[in-house]
Amino acid sequence: MQISSSSSGQSQVGGVSEELRAAKLAKTQQEAEGKAAVELLESANVSPPQSADPAVGQNINIKV
């Protein structure tokens, strides 16, 4: 295993920087949260309630 220090002060382990590992973990976490959010929205998909009288709300009074 090779451990070296780059000029910016970030260490590299085995040729993969810690910054890259953190970015990959963050991306994986964001994808998991996004998938969970989409599933939640899909499960909450509810149709709007229907009025007992279909004529209610059809006429709108507008004064100009």
- Is residue 60 situated within a structural domain? no
User: What is the rounded average pLDDT of the residues 41-59?
Assistant: 76
Question: Given this model, what pLDDT does residue 46 score?
Answer: 75
Residue 24: domain span? 15-42
Q: Are 40 and 53 in contact (CB under 8 A)?
A: no
- Is residue 32 situated within a structural domain? yes
- Is residue 21 situated within a structural domain? yes
Q: Is 33 or 58 the better-scoring residue by pLDDT?
A: 33
**Which pTM was predicted?**
0.47
- Is residue 62 situated within a structural domain? no
- Is residue 31 situated within a structural domain? yes
- Is residue 64 situated within a structural domain? no
Q: How many domains does the chain have?
A: 1
- Is residue 30 situated within a structural domain? yes
With left for phi above 0 and alpha for psi between -120 and 50, is residue 14 left, alpha or beta? left
- Is residue 50 situated within a structural domain? no
Q: Is 4 or 55 the better-scoring residue by pLDDT?
A: 55
